[in-house]
Structure 1
Amino acid sequence: MTANRVELQRIMASLQSSGLTVEAVEDGALIQHGESRVALFAENDPQGGVIVRLHLDLELYVEEDSLPDILMGMNLMNQGLDYGALNLDPVEPEEVDPDEEAPLLFAVLGRSVLWLRDLSAGELERLTEHLRRFEAEVTGAVESTLHGPKGISA
Structure 2
Amino acid sequence: MTVPQSELQQIVSALQKSGLTVESVEDGALIQHGESRVALFAEADHQGGVIVRLHLDLDLYVEEDSLPDILMGMNLLNQGLDYGTLNLDPVDTDEEGEDSGVAFAVLGRSVLWLPDLGVAELDRLREHLRRFEAEVTDAMERTLHGSKGLSA
Q: TM-score range by the shorter chain?
A: over 0.9
TM-fit CA distance, 1:148: 0.8
Q: For the residues of structure 1 that align with 2:77 and 2:95, how far apart are their CA atoms?
A: 33
Asked if 1:96 is matched to 2:123, the reply is: no
Task: State how 1:85-124 maps to structure 2 within 5 Å.
Answer: 85-93=85-93, 95-97=94-96, 99-124=97-122
Deviations 1:17-64 (A, max 9, x none): 222100000001000000000000001101000000000000000000
Aligned residue pairs total: 149
Give the whole-Å Cα distance in 1 for the aligned partners of 2:16 and 2:130. Answer: 13
Corresponding position of 1:32: 32
Q: Does 1:132 align with 2:137?
A: no
Gap regions ≥5 residues in structure 1: none
**Offset, 1:141:** 0.2
The residue aligned with 1:62 is 62
Kindly report the root-mean-square deviation, in angstroms, between the aligned alpha carbons of the 2 structures: 1.2
Identity rate, percent? 76
Per the normalisation by structure 2, the TM-score is 0.94
Distance apart, 1:5 and its partner CA? 5.3
Q: Which runs of 5+ in 2 are unaligned?
A: none
What amino acid is aligned across from residue 10 of structure 2 in structure 1? R
- The alpha carbon displacement at 1:10 in A equals 1.0
CA distance in 1, matches of 2:12, 2:41: 11
SS at match of 1:103: coil
Which amino acid is 1:96 matched to?
E
Structure 1 consecutive aligned stretches of length 4 or more whose deviation exceeds 2 Å? none
SS state at 2:40 partner:
strand
In 1: Cα distance, 2:150 partner to 2:99 partner: 26
- 1:6 is displaced (CA, Å) by 2.4
Moved more, 56-65 or 8-17: 8-17
Question: Residue 17 of structure 1 corresponds to which residue in structure 2?
Answer: 17
